[in-house]
Structure 1
Amino acid sequence: MSCLSELLTVTTPWKYVLTLHSPELPLITNRDIVKKLVELKGNNIVAEGINAATGYAHKWLMKKKVVPGSPPENIGPLPNFTIYKSAESINSALSRDFVEYALTDSKAIALRKRLQYTRSAEEFFFATLNKLKDAPGNRMKLKAAGLAMPRFSQRFWGARRNGCLERYLRHKICIVSASDLPFILNQMKKGLWFYNKYLIDYDYVVNDCIQLLLLFVYKQECHYNEE
């Protein structure tokens, strides 16, 4: 949130900000990212999440996180709109108008204030705001524009028959290795932008192969355009 606040003060007329974890493996080029963001026409990419009224999400919503100066057990009432939770909503593409809304709107401020003492608060914030009717580029506006939600970032839990062959997990999420390249290439074909999680110091070969493939595709497209 601090980074978003600072971004609004810069003079460069940016239109989107991508919020990502550090161990992300890019599966498309910067050029294609820009092209796909333009096609969104100001709408956001935010994972939909689940209604926090469900037992699982509500359990996390009511957990108090330990922070200096945190209040007693009573952490205050929830805002009077539906709260949603999605771990994948941390990885989002947010329009500038939406960022301004998230930082200044009274409902956004009330939600953030309530979540500051909540476990995994970041998994509730954007997923909830992107469902509000007056939020710029929200989920409903994306659908109304006839646009599908892009496959922005995805993680895969546990070891699978066709992936995570080395069975190296972190937080129960598969860390891909060179053995998983066929699996990753298949995700690229399906239009995935980023894979989470990837650790370059664990297996640098994956990144090298993806970079070479993207460079090859780019050269092929340039050759086709020249012809």
Structure 2
Amino acid sequence: MSRFGITKSGFILCVGVGVFLFAFIDKNSDGRGGEKFVPEIKECGFYPEELCTALFKGKSAAPSIGNVCQASIPPPRGEGPVCLQHPTNCSKIIMDLHFITKPLSAEEANFSLAYILTIHKDLDMFVKLITAIYAPQNIYCIHIDEKSPKAFERAVRKLASCFQNMFISSKQVSVVYAGFSRLQADLNCMEDLVRSNAQWSYVLNLCGQDFPIKTNKEIIQYLKSKWNGKNLTPGVTQPPHIQYRTRVSYKEFVHLEKSYVYPTTTEKHSPPHNITLYFGTAYYALTLEFVNFVLSDTRARDLLQWSRDTYSPDEHYWVTLNRLKDAPGATPDAQWEGNIRAIKWKDQEGSSHSGCHGHYVRNICVYGLGDLQWLTKSPHLFANKFDLGRYPLVLDCLERHYRLKVLKQAEVVLEPHWYFQADQHFNMNKVYV
């Protein structure tokens, strides 16, 4: 069950009266163990802790029960009872959404991370993501797609205004899947982050369908122990079957209803400065020194200009620059090393994973309940993709599991509002067998 709705997961805007609506509700837990059970569900979305525990343990009965429940839940656009009018009550938002308000250890306080979040819809999903990754010593740049509904943008701006270390990108673009605009969105945020003068060590990028599976402390320890000032840009020399992306010129078609990238017949010349192109993930962990290099180096600027009419340039730009031997924190000989994202690719079914328990979109698994055990055992920092509308209990369970792990690792006195507390409206009869 989402924190944005009493009967359904979601968010509404009181547009007619100029009111921004944040409807919320706490998660439910009765604190019992992980026995196998058959719940008699009175309200899908309200669930006992045992359901999530069973799913994480890979119990076969639990996913089928959950999937039946999820099928009856509409996408997260439901109603809720609380309207917060201008001025926004930030103290209430911070408390009700369970934001963690101080560093949880000295190690975390002394190692700040920067985040770039590129979003375009699904406010409830965004709130789950930002409350999970938020720490007061970090800094967050949010890029909102220029095509996003204005009500959505206003709501995100309202939430961001409650935090000194969270802001909206000063430049917004209409993001097109596989287009240059996706790369430009990250660069816009990088410019803002550098200008902020915040003392961050690494920047990581996220999209609206990501969720963390490693805590802030675990991310820091991974970056310090495994990489120690090096950039994470998994990838290899551009393989032949990917060369179509940079062989001809591509253009973006931007429209509110449908946007896409399409090829032209114009052939492209070779990359500038005899740079060898690499192909890899669009997700990264980059040092502040490397970001400054990207924004100022002549080769980086020329490669950026050359990449403007390529297909999915974010999958070659970062990894290519990070293979330059003189780039700060470069990894010239690296290949696919780096646990950035847990992704179940369709063509890797049977090898790196046993299958997708949700459904595939562009050959990437949108996780279902049966994927929870695999996710919690993954060595990666984040996971992609999630669909809160179709599989709400996946994120509800993962969110609760994640928060409990965060609090267990804390080395400070815990605040009561950091916990997802039991909801008074809990209404589920359980039969234990």
Shorter-chain TM range is 0.7 to 0.9
Q: Normalised by the size of structure 1, how large is the TM-score?
A: 0.81
Deviation at 1:141, TM superposition (A): 8.5
Q: 1:77 aligns with which of 270, 273, 276?
A: 270
Q: 2:247 aligns with which of 52, 62, 71?
A: 62
Q: How does 1:124-143 map to 2 (within 5 A)?
A: 124-140=316-332
Q: 1:213 aligns with which of 392, 396, 401?
A: 401
2:210 matches 1:45: no
| Alignment-derived partner of residue 195 in structure 2 | 9
| Alignment-derived partner of residue 261 in structure 2 | none
**1:153-207 deviation line (CA, Å, top 9, x unaligned):** 13222284633124x11111110011221222232xxx11111111222212222
Bigger share in strand: 2
Helix, strand or coil: the match of 2:285?
Answer: strand
| Alignment-derived partner of residue 178 in structure 1 | 369
Distance of 1:111 and 1:185 partners within structure 2:
38
Change (3 A) 1:25 1:219: closer
| Alignment-derived partner of residue 151 in structure 1 | 339
Detail structure 1 runs of 4+ shifted over 6 Å in the superposition: none
Helix, strand or coil: the match of 2:248?
Answer: coil
Deviation at 1:220, TM superposition (A): 4.5
The root-mean-square deviation of aligned C-alpha atoms, in Å, is 2.8
Helix, strand or coil: the match of 1:18?
Answer: strand
| Alignment-derived partner of residue 104 in structure 1 | 296
Change (3 A) 1:211 1:67: closer
**Count of matched residue positions in the alignment of Structure 1 and Structure 2:** 210
Q: 1:95 aligns with which of 282, 287, 290?
A: 287
| Alignment-derived partner of residue 209 in structure 2 | 23
The answer to whether the 8 Å contact 1:157/1:172 transfers is yes
Distance of 2:250 and 2:333 partners within structure 1:
34
Change (3 A) 1:222 1:29: closer
Distance of 1:8 and 1:81 partners within structure 2:
26
The answer to whether the 8 Å contact 1:48/1:127 transfers is yes
The answer to whether the 8 Å contact 1:43/1:141 transfers is no
Matching residue's letter, 2:200: W
Matching residue's letter, 1:41: N
Q: Percent identity?
A: 24
Distance of 2:372 and 2:342 partners within structure 1:
16
The answer to whether the 8 Å contact 1:20/1:92 transfers is no
Deviation at 1:138, TM superposition (A): 1.1
Which of these two proteins has the greater Rg computed from alpha carbons? 2
The answer to whether the 8 Å contact 1:163/1:183 transfers is no
Bigger share in helix: 1
The unaligned stretches of length 5 or more in structure 1 are none
Deviation at 1:55, TM superposition (A): 2.0
2:355 matches 1:163: yes
The unaligned stretches of length 5 or more in structure 2 are 1-186, 254-263, 412-433
**1:103-142 deviation line (CA, Å, top 9, x unaligned):** 1111111111111111111111001011110111111498
